[in-house]
Amino acid sequence: NAGVTQTPKFQVLKTGQSMTLQCAQDMNHEYMSWYRQDPGMGLRLIHYSVGAGITDQGEVPNGYNVSRSTTEDFPLRLLSAAPSQTSVYFCASSYSFVSPYEQYFGPGTRLTVT
Amino acid sequence: GQQLNQSPQSMFIQEGEDVSMNCTSSSIFNTWLWYKQDPGEGPVLLIALYKAGELTSNGRLTAQFGITRKDSFLNISASIPSDVGIYFCAGLDRGSTLGRLYFGRGTQLTVWP
């Protein structure tokens, strides 16, 4: 049982490039989400999904796309990277979005956009 | 969005001392959570609180859900070097269509041996 896995661990992009951050979980969790963490800012919700085929925007969705074709995977796409997207990205999952709300976080992807 | 104010921003303490940190919100939450993040890792859930007034312990950690449902605090007793890390509070907004978790900005804890 690997829990929540994220790839890559580090990535450097040039402005305007696109890429996909991968997230997978093997716990059969319904709820998956993406957060970004900036220094002194805590974690902010980008997008989330309550099941395959269902996604919705979080607090800071601009510049990011998501899709959920399977229960296990929830990739985050940056269509045209900008320096403001330099951050650490965390994927999380939980069995359900109702109480108890125990979210399991992946190890993170550290992204730098130059 | 919801605003969570977490304090203090950082703490420098000696091993063996007790630690207190708190989190306040401008609105009501139905669930309060406390996470710890080690360097280079994702946050790990420490304690979850589901009812106003609830007091819950996890080893040396004790957390309380404020009666007004707008605040929560976390205490760590007899701190040890492995307590070093960033502690985050988070509130669950059940009022939205789908529950959404909001995080405080974190308390950076440093423990001197």
- For residue A104, the model assigns a pLDDT of 87
- Chain B residues within 8 Å of chain A (Cβ atoms): 1, 4, 6, 9, 30-31, 33, 40-45, 48, 50, 88, 90, 92, 94, 98-106
- For residue B32, the model assigns a pLDDT of 92
* CA distance from start to end of chain A: 36
- Residue A109 phi/psi, 5-degree rounding, is -120, 125
B30 contacts in chain A (CB < 8 Å): 99
Percent of chain A with pLDDT over 70: 95
B30 close to B69: Cβ distance less than 8 angstroms: yes
Fill in the amino acid letter for A51.
G
CA distances from A96 to A2, A17, A62, A76, B23 (A): 19, 34, 25, 20, 25
Q: Which of A21, A31, A37, A101 to mutate to test the interface with B (most CBs of B within 10 A)?
A: A101
- For residue B42, the model assigns a pLDDT of 92
- For residue A2, the model assigns a pLDDT of 75
A9 contacts in chain B (CB < 8 Å): none
- Note the pLDDT tens digit of each residue in A27-64: 999 999 999 999 878 899 999 998 899 999 988 999 99
Contacts of B94 (CB under 8 A, 6+ apart): A98, B29, B30, B31
- Note the pLDDT tens digit of each residue in B65-113: 999 999 999 999 999 999 999 999 999 876 655 667 889 999 999 999 8
- Note the pLDDT tens digit of each residue in B24-36: 999 888 889 999 9
**Strand pairing report for B10-14 and B107-112:** parallel
Distance (Å, rounded) from C-alpha A67 to C-alpha B81?
41
A29 close to A97: Cβ distance less than 8 angstroms: no
Q: Is the pLDDT of residue A101 over 70?
A: no
Contact B100 A106 (CB under 8 A): no
